[in-house]
Amino acid sequence: MRHGPAKPHASSHGVRRHRHNRCETMPQKVVIVGAGLAGSILAAELAQTFDVTVVELAQQNGNLAVPLTDLSQPAGLSPHVGSGPGGTSALWNNGLIELEDDDYASWPISRQELLPYVARAYPLLSGVSREAVTSCYDELRQIHVDRGIPQEMIGNGLFYPQRRRNLWQSLRLAERPIRFITGRARRLLIDNGRVTGLVFEDDVGRPHQISADHVILSAGGLSTPLVVQATEKAFSLSSLEAAGRHYIDHPMGMIAKVKLQSRFYDIWNFRQRRIAGALQTPIVIRDQSGLKISVFLRPASVVSHGDRRDRVQSVLVNLRNAPFKLSALAALAGSRDDIRDLLSFKLGLQLPTDYYVLRLVASEVPDTHRSVYRDEKTDGIVRDWRITEGYLEKLSSLLQQLLDKLGGIVVESRFFDQWGKNLHSAAHHSGTCRMSQSEEDGVCDSTCQIFGISNAYICDGSTLPSTGYANTGLTIAALALRLSDHLKQQAA
């Protein structure tokens, strides 16, 4: 394995050779751009069949190593994009949730086709099986029904493994025959509709080229479209015009406080030893267009109007990656609700209360305008994420319907002032190189192959045509496993 920038000549490529019956053959070269969740899984799965090189922005984990400018709606999470081995899996405890049947309506593949890979992804991301998680969730779902939540309003469970997993480390990729190059991918090299390599820059901006039989872009929903856009510009490929469009995220935030007559404080964070983690239950409602919102019940203290919770933020967000930061610790000391969260997640203590904060996580309809593109001034990334007044009106209507459907268990409720203005990104950057039936509304096909380039692929959040109402990591991992199988079958 090699660290640091590669030299721009062929001898630096470090080809491995396998001998079979005195005949020497060289495995095909696969270049993976990005060492995040998908890139780590792809590297682990392909390393025994292919000569694998991973090109990653940084050698150490941290915030995105290039400038990022947020237009319109701010991100709200820090950091909301990571770089280094493991990517954002090194920064956040990935919540696992399965897409629902109707979420696949805009996909060129079905839920049943992806489900076997979803099952394979559970142990990789959590160490436990899908069967164990779904068994626990069936039990939790029935408890919610018994306590007054209509069954049709209970969504798929969100599973948080007790321990955060940096995929690069947990898959022990540093010990595998994988070449690691630090650099920023710029564009693909194309000849007669086939990729021949990758242009990248090292950490001081010097350009290099690396040859490849296959290239997989797994740099994430904000970085991958920039590589595709630069390739489109260099080679005049109209099939790549959709790159950077159809962006979706999950608007989220604390939006209201309710008093309930049923008890939920003891099950909101349903800890189970047999799955080494906790399950949370979303309460879901949807409109006829397919827009869905979910709310999670977060136990809260009794507060009056004008409480700090109207800021629609939790100090725990900043504490996760800076546990010894004095300002964050001081803010935690003044927040009873966040202390309650901490006691539940770390110690399993559930303190009695009748009051709950509603944490909203909503789906989005893809926006066809180009939301992600290169910043010409800073050579960074521009993210133009928009939440329109019309969208907020739909959310408000659905939220009121949700409270009405909960009926008698809601004793009182109060929406926070300006809750719609304070929604922030869930950092699930998706859809910018979406998988589709044709190049008119996407960048890659049902096998993740880029339209117009026979041996180039995309596998990360950018490929997701829709994301439902919560975390995308499980779906991305399933797509990485599926693409790995596809490439190994081709090689065989």
Average pLDDT over residues 66-93: 84
pLDDT at position 72, please?
Answer: 81
Would you place residue 343 in the very low, low, confident or very high pLDDT band (cuts 50, 70, 90)? low
What mean pLDDT is predicted for residues 353-374? 93
| 3-class secondary-structure state, position 88 | helix
- Preceding peptide of 79 cis, ω within 30°: yes
Name the fold adopted by 10-94+166-246+430-491: FAD/NAD(P)-binding domain (3.50.50)
- Confidence bin at 378 (pLDDT 50/70/90): very high
Average model confidence (pLDDT) across the chain: 87
End-to-end CA gap in the chain = 25
Choose among 262, 267, 270: nearest CA to 147.
262
CA 469 to chain centre: 12
Q: Please choose, from the candidates 99, 79, 74, the residue with its C-alpha nearest in 3D space to the C-alpha of residue 89.
A: 79
Residue 198 pairs in a beta bridge with 188, 210
Region 120-140: what's the mean pLDDT?
A: 96
Query: Do 259 and 357 touch, CB atoms closer than 8 A?
Result: no
Residue 11: pLDDT above 70? no
Helix (H, G, I), strand (E, B) or coil at 319: helix
DSSP H helices, 97-164, are: 111-126, 130-146
Question: What global pTM score does this model have?
Answer: 0.89
pLDDT in tens, 29-39: 999 999 999 99
Q: Give the residue range(s) of CATH 3.50.50.60 domains in the chain.
A: 10-94+166-246+430-491
With a cut of 90, say whether residue 3 has pLDDT above it. Answer: no
| 237-288 pLDDT tens trace | 999 999 999 999 999 999 999 999 999 999 999 988 899 999 999 999 999 8
- Determine phi and psi for 468, rounding to 5 degrees: 60, -135
| Beta carbons within 10 angstroms of residue 311's beta carbon | 12
pLDDT band at residue 352 using 50, 70 and 90 as cut-offs: confident
For residues 460-465, average pLDDT: 98
Write the CB contacts of 377 (distance below 8 Å, at least 6 apart in sequence): none
State the average pLDDT over residues 148-160: 96
Q: What is the mean pLDDT of residues 6-10?
A: 38
**Would the pLDDT of 13 be above 70?**
no
Burial 229-243 (b: 16+ CB within 10 A, else e): bbbbeebebebbbbb
DSSP string of 432-477?
Answer: TT-B-SSGGG-SB-TTSBBTT-TTEEE-SGGG-S--TTS--HHHHH
- Single out the residue of 480, 425, 462 nearest to residue 243, CA to CA: 462
Residue 320, pLDDT score: 56
- pLDDT tens-digit map of 181-214: 999 999 999 999 999 999 999 989 999 999 999 9
Q: Is there a contact between 465 and 435 (Cβ–Cβ < 8 Å)?
A: yes
Q: Is the pLDDT of residue 12 over 60?
A: no
Q: Are strands 456-458 and 270-272 parallel, antiparallel or unpaired?
A: unpaired
The CA distances from residue 407 to 148, 288, 402, in Å, are: 9, 21, 9
Cβ-contact 124, 474 below 8 angstroms: no
Q: Which of 146-150, 310-314, 324-328, 384-388 has the lowest mean pLDDT?
A: 310-314
